[in-house]
Structure 1
Amino acid sequence: MKKISQITPHSVGTKAYNLHLIQKDGLRVPTFSVFSFDLFQSEEVQDFFTKQQEQYDNGEYSLDEFSQVLQEMVIDFFSREDFQVIDTFQSEQIGKEFSVRSSANVEDAAAASFAGQFTTKLFVPVSDLVAAIQASLLSLYQPSALSYYFDHQLTVGEVQLYVIVQEMIQGELSGVYFTANPQGLLNEHLIVVGEGVGSGIVEDRVATTMVTIHPEEQLSYFETTDQSPIITNEQQHLLTQMATQIMTLFGPYMDIEFTFRENELYVLQARPITKMSPEPSVILDNSNIVESYPVTTTPLTFSFIQEAYSSIFRGLAKRLLKNDEKTLAAFEPTFQQMIAQSNSRVYYQINNWYKLLQLLPFSKKVIPIWQEMLGVQTPQITDSVQISKFTHLKIMGRMMKSFVQAPSEMQQLEREFDQIFAYFNQNYHANASFDELYELFEQIKDQILAKWDVTLVNDLYAFIYTGILKKVHSTEAVQAEIAGIEQIESMKPVIELNKIIASIQKIENQDYRSLIQQLKSTDVQEFLVTNEHSLTKSIQQFILLFGDRAPEELKLETPTFRSQPQRLIQLIQQQLTLPIGTTVVEKPTTTHRTNFVLRWMRKRALLGIKYRESSRLNRTRIYGMMRLIFVTMGERLVEQKCLQQLDDVFYLTMSELFTLSKTQQAMQAEINQRKQKHLVDRQLPAFSRFVFTNQPFEKYPQNINQESVGNMTAQLQGIGCSQGIVRGQIIVVEDVQQMDVQQTYGKIIVTKMTDPGWVYLLTQAKGIIAEKGSLLSHTAIISRELGIPAVVNVQQATRQFKTNDWVEIDGQTGRIRRLKGENDKSELDDYSSKTK
């Protein structure tokens, strides 16, 4: 054996070299030495490896036999090593304890981490170093490690081991810092911490806390389990500083082990997160859309706006592509996913917006303007569907025609919308049957969506002319003029309400004012129907025209003046307590240009903005009509006892709502679960952007910021840590020593915890459920490497399940569903087809 004095990329394994660089960069690393073995330089050993590999490849050995042969050889050659360097080391370190870790030449690579494959020994007395080093060396040839080599096209002769002998740090708090979510979220950091040294956390012996951080937004939250520890602000700051430093050294996506001793932070090791694609696949961004759908949104609202966005953008594409069915078909997945929902919040699927924007003529000029107007902070343009130059020319002509005609088309759309609005008010009535309401919904929806794509053209019209104005004139002046025009429609409700309040304030209406001030919320509905005063009719007219304009008005679950007129009366009562004159809205002044070109540009910009504002108000009315239809449908469902209470309707999707009256499917348990999840989602920070390497996934936090959110429902829930959905029969493992792979073959293992020795059972299993665990536990690490679904942190799992029970587990969301049994096939097959 030799102690390596000059550490270079080629003289030691990746783990040791990384520690060297981290220490060199000024971070605190426990004192360590690296040792090499003479046996790897022996031709005799290499010849032996080659011969034995050939015999194994020819089927002369089983994997266990191959492992035994190699380990016996290694024991023999290890005994011939020169241990003088270890003897010297021991004499210099009397009384100390060490950790002994592997540093193989194939370890800690981005493509294969070898996590959990090699033996680490902690709290090793100096007198036991040789035995610990031998154990680390022998683990190089244990069956699980050999299987891992062959899965990654390696032979035993290619693998060499160096050993790290490191001062043992008895930390009070230890954990792992992931500089990306290993499930595939690139712009999210995770810290998992527990009390004591890291082995207790990885082996699921202690309760852990997970801290989620979005560094760019400086937002974070933590989830606790049992009596898990909470890191202080100072500790979190030290950890994020350390992570930034390590990312600078090695790259953006790192897995960093650390410990705190007496408030001093030590880095134990750092390696790339394996199987993490560095390229984003889906980017969710709430720029602009968060204004329409702030905070959280219910399933009914999201399903409606998803269909609306899909239809409108499909209409825009048809406007540009006409009868080009092939290109339209290529874009169909894009139309279906213009928006997405993550933890009850609405986002643009920004990739798909760029795809469609690239259809437009002069897209390289248009896109930056669009980004600026919508407030997109991080441009990340993806490739569009390829189309021919001839098609591009035709699109250019059609777009320019639509652009010129946008004001006249918007004017026509307003006239048609007025007719639709009048039709709704004539045909809607609170006692309508469910079928009548559905027919009204379809009529209104089809008429509105048929031509609403022109609003997108008008948005672009307004964006481009305003963008040009900002190029040729001062930003402040342009903003002032835009603000002036915006109030034409946006301020109409306020102006009209102020007129009502001013009239109520008049001396001749003193009795009416007294009546309004004393009116109770419970009496408002009857008052508005029976009172004949002209001001009451003004209030009724206000509700008809502007009753849908309210905070969060585009969320169907939001109460408005139309759905709850007592809110308007309460507002009037509050306004009446103010001094006269304080509610007057002054019309802003605007500047007028003398330059003809600037006047023309200004006129175009303000015209586009004018119609944009009017379409927004009409959009609010659309949502008001839909809200009335859906709420009334909810009333019918409550009457049919399909729903327990009216608010439950908002936790159905549109398709569920429309079919529930006929199928009367039992949905209350699912509704209750969605309600609970919605409450939990509201506690999460409102992150503005998610960058996924694959499809977006939901978070299912259980304890946020030490606040318990209670039981999610009867459906079991844990932490998903390895993606995939699997269904199968359970085997409860109380004693792993009594198990073999035949017993676990094709089963879903349920246990308290796992360690690296479980790898063979897991390779034969369909999935695993564990009572303990986190994203960095062996259960999680090995399951991800093997590609089998895993759910950890499931309380009392070994007591809640019995061997031979049937379940479905989702390793992404952490959800577990009980099944009736093997004969539950038709439902499962149908569910499977929907989830593909």
Structure 2
Amino acid sequence: MGAKAARLGELLRLGWPVPRGFVISPSALSDLVAQQGSLQILERAHRALTSGDGARALRAGLEAGDCLRELTLSATFRASLEAQCSALLEGPEIEGASVSGLPSLAVRSSALVEDGSQQSHAGQFSSVLNLRSVEAVFDAVTEVWASWFSERAIAYRQRWLQDQQAGVLSLAAVPAMAVLVQRMITPRCSGVLFTVHPVRGTRDELCLEAGPGLGEELAQGRLLPDLFVVRRPLDASSRFSISERSVARKERALRASIEHEGKLQFEPLPAAARRQPCLDDGEIIALCRLAVDLEQHCGAAVDLEWALDSAGRIFLLQVRPVTALAGSGPVRSHDARPLRARPLLWTQRFSGERWTEGATPLGWSIVQPALHHFTYWEVASERWLEGSEPSRLILGRPYFNLTIFRHLAFRLPGGAPPQFLLEMFPPDEQRELQEQAPLLPNLGLVVSVLGQMVRERRWERYRFNPRTNCADWEEFQPRFEAQIADLSVDFLEIGPGLKVLEVARQLMVDYLSIHLLSLLYAHLSYEGLGILLRSWGGLGGEALRAALVSQPADNETLRCNAALWRLAWQAQQLEEVRARLLREPLPSLSELEGCEGGTQFVTAFAEFLQAFGHRSSASWEIFASRWEDSPELPLQMIAGYLRGGLPVDPSLAERQRSEEREQAERLVRTRMGRTALRRLLPWRQQLFDRLLVLSRRYMALRENQRFSFDRLLLRMKRVLERLGALLERSGALGSGADIVFLEIDEVLELHEGRLAPDLASQRIEQRRQRFNRDLLAVHPDFLSGEEAVPVPLGHGAAGGDVLVGLGISSGRLRGRVRVLSRLEDMAALQPGEILVCRAADPGWTPLFLTAGALVFELGSVLSHGAVVAREYKLPAVVNVQGACSLLQDGMEVTVDGDRGTVTLHRALKGPMLRDELC
């Protein structure tokens, strides 16, 4: 009868709160097919489905589905079904009425392949709800049978069959499809509950999601649920405790239609209910207690779907043992040695969003020494890090050395290292650090670093004080911008140009002396907010924390994107300009200037470039293309806004974020002062307020420092381009553009005659070829020594249907994928699509106004993409290994920014994990 019906039937017999029902066995369908001569059509469909010809399979499958819908029920079968349905419809009112006092039924699939060990087929077959007559149930049963041959089930099965060996194909001609008929619940709310955290893999936490009304919206990823994390009792004397709560804004609920049998409809929620949690604390604890009892009964962690009726009674709609979760099971490392004894660990997770393209030899030879000025501890490196440097180029991309953090990581008893540190490591090492990290850092290394700092007075290099670092920047920033503007690019000789470059390099060092500590304090303060919200307020969730620190008016990246939107709005008002921008190919600025209203638009566009032309999609690379160099990039973004319908004015979202921030502050104050003693002695609130102010300041610096730094990098590019032109004029270079393939020391040697032009030319050609090869290479997220570190792609009932990453922006969206390997391909992105790319520098963020959700292979909680995604309220998941190759254009997925998962609804490999509610 299928795993779904079997489990629910067993639980019902044992007295668990499962809606009453009965099962129609697969043999009933086999008998009807044999009696009515339909077997030949099904056998033809079976041959087509196993032929490997997708078009043939679809045609034959749809024909077979129509055949099943036309089956007529035998008199015996009809009489039995009518008796069973009548007994349910006329039975005791223990489950409550469905619609306006009328009981109703739900007809659900329970195929033998659902929730199986090799195939789950979850979500592929039909369920029909809100049935109030026996005739409607008859029709629904044939519809469920026919769904075996639905287009989505055929496409799913085709892909699964392609991945199997010929000897394991076991699908029969007649669908092995049981049908489950149950008394339907009228839920006040419904949801899912895991007895092990589905993202963290922690078994001391239960994760509960809840939404109003029927649960199909939640299961399909179209509803952002309330989220609660509940800690288990430590012993018999302790109790369940809610450690995190995140209450979503809910506009509507899915209910059974009163007028139309078999239909569902959305009902708007009252304004007062939209910000209220679906469950009170007592109901949350009751659900968790029931789930733990179920776990003990099943002998394993469980994933259950539940509904709560208007009387507060709990009903179980589905129960599955949890067999595969992110982070579940014992720690398994690719290396059995202790963490601190393993080979060097290199990563792109910090550098990937800063160098989204290749790093040129010249650009890297300037940036790397500036970074090493602050991060290279030579004595400690010789003793504990194999003499390695903090960074290196691998296949043309910067990688950073994580090995030192293995030595610095430690955990307090019962705690774990900071999350911002953990997210830089591969998943297996993250879990090792969470569960088995040493209680102390490597004290020998710490003493070595401190000793070198004292001997060389290195503390003078940093703006250490977290209370004054922000003020240091505010004092430094106007002077920094003025000094950048003073960097001359009009020098006529190489010598003066090199002096200008030295001034620019010192400005880079001065900037980093503040920025690196600002970045650290942003992470620490933001993580500290989360800790205080959970421990003092019982509040959690990225949405609340993001709302508290939101300040879009102070964010230069958002200001840039809003200015770009205003240009698009202006173009929309100018009919001929709009028409030209919508044509292919994209017109030049001179062509636009020649049309009616064009001069007005081009003037405004020039002002935009004056303010924001230093932006880039790979801005830490000095020679990356800037908008000032390639104005067609922002122009193409404007055309994209027009082509898809102008996005919502960002200023409206800004006002909404301000309101949400005020609401979040009120909620926190209410929770912090929930007892008389706390109100009398409000030291918790006072400390929290101070940390919140600090966190907001550092979050603003996160974007604004980079905005100013981009100006310096553009001016350095202009200086180096001028030096290249002068070297070409002197005959030292064949082309001034070739300077990018020399290192900065080689440029000096070439100018001073210590490097022969012929030898320089040879090096340039070799590096050019290597650079072009490296652009096409695969760049692993992690390297252990020189070997790529394997990273699991995801999980599922039989592998790979849920990709796992790091949730960085709250929300959930189901939509279609658009993979972009370069910003230049942006025209392909359609409104509401899920943007998938390697990483996102600030230059990518204007696309966020078009996208519906985000999936990146690289990123972090405070990456630039994360900060902007939260301001735009886009669900986002980063660190999704292989996302750009596993996900394909047009694929339907659900992005869950709270869980950090990407669920594939049209599987590439392996079956689906999640089943639909009801």
Name which one, 1 or 2, has greater alpha-carbon Rg: 1
- Given the two structures, how large is their TM-score scaled by the length of structure 1? 0.44
- Given the two structures, how large is their TM-score scaled by the length of structure 2? 0.41
